[in-house]
C-alpha cells in the first residue's frame, strides 16, 4: 500500500498549457507551434506550386546559437493535401508531418517549432521537403515560412 501511495505522489499532473504531443529524435524536439501562424510577422517566405506525388526540397540555414526555428507550410486545403518532412544538417531524418499534426482540423497549415532539448540546434542547412500527397487539379500553390 505504501509503495502504491508513493508511486501516486510521484506522478505530476500536466499543466493546462502544456503541449502534450511532441516528437523527439535524439536531442531534436518538434512540437506544434505555440505561437500561432501570422503571415504579417513571418520572415523569409517561399511561394511555389506542387503536383500530385511531387517532392520539392527547400533549405533553411540555421545560424550558430539558434535555439528554435518555426516552420510553417500553408496551402488551400480545398485543392489538396501536403506533407512536410524535416532533415537536419547532419542528414538525420527528424520527422514527417501532416495537416493534422498541429491541430485536429484539416486547415491547410502545418505549423511546427523545431528546438533542442539542451542548448542550440545544429547549425547549417536544414532540409524541408514538401510532398504533394493529394492534389486536385494540375497543381496547388503553397507558402513555406
Could you report the per-residue pLDDT of 113-134, keeping only the tens digit for each? Answer: 999 887 899 999 999 999 999 9
Pull the grid cell for residue 41: 510577422
Could you report the per-residue pLDDT of 61-94, keeping only the tens digit for each? Answer: 999 999 889 999 999 888 889 999 999 999 999 9
Percent of the chain past pLDDT 90, that is, above it, reads 47
pTM: 0.75
Q: Residue 17 contacts by C-beta under 8 Å, 6 or more apart in sequence?
A: none
Instruction: Compute how many other C-beta atoms are within 10 angstroms of the C-beta atom of residue 105.
Output: 10
| pLDDT (average), residues 34-62 | 80
Tell me the CATH class for 21-144. mainly beta
pLDDT (0 to 100) of residue 10: 37
Amino acid at each position: 500500500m505504501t509503495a502504491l501511495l508513493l508511486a501516486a505522489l510521484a506522478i505530476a499532473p500536466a499543466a493546462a498549457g502544456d503541449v502534450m504531443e511532441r516528437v523527439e529524435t535524439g536531442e531534436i524536439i518538434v512540437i506544434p507551434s505555440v505561437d500561432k501562424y501570422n503571415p504579417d510577422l513571418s520572415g523569409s517566405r517561399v511561394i511555389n506550386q506542387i503536383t500530385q506525388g511531387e517532392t520539392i526540397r527547400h533549405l533553411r540555414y540555421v545560424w550558430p546559437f539558434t535555439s528554435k526555428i518555426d516552420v510553417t507550410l500553408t496551402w488551400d486545403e480545398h485543392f489538396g493535401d501536403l506533407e512536410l518532412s524535416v532533415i537536419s544538417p547532419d542528414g538525420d531524418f527528424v520527422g514527417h508531418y501532416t495537416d493534422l499534426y498541429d491541430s485536429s482540423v484539416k486547415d491547410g497549415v502545418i505549423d511546427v517549432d523545431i528546438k533542442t532539448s539542451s542548448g542550440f540546434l545544429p547549425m547549417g542547412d536544414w532540409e524541408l521537403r514538401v510532398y504533394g500527397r493529394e492534389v486536385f487539379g494540375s497543381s496547388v500553390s503553397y507558402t513555406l515560412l
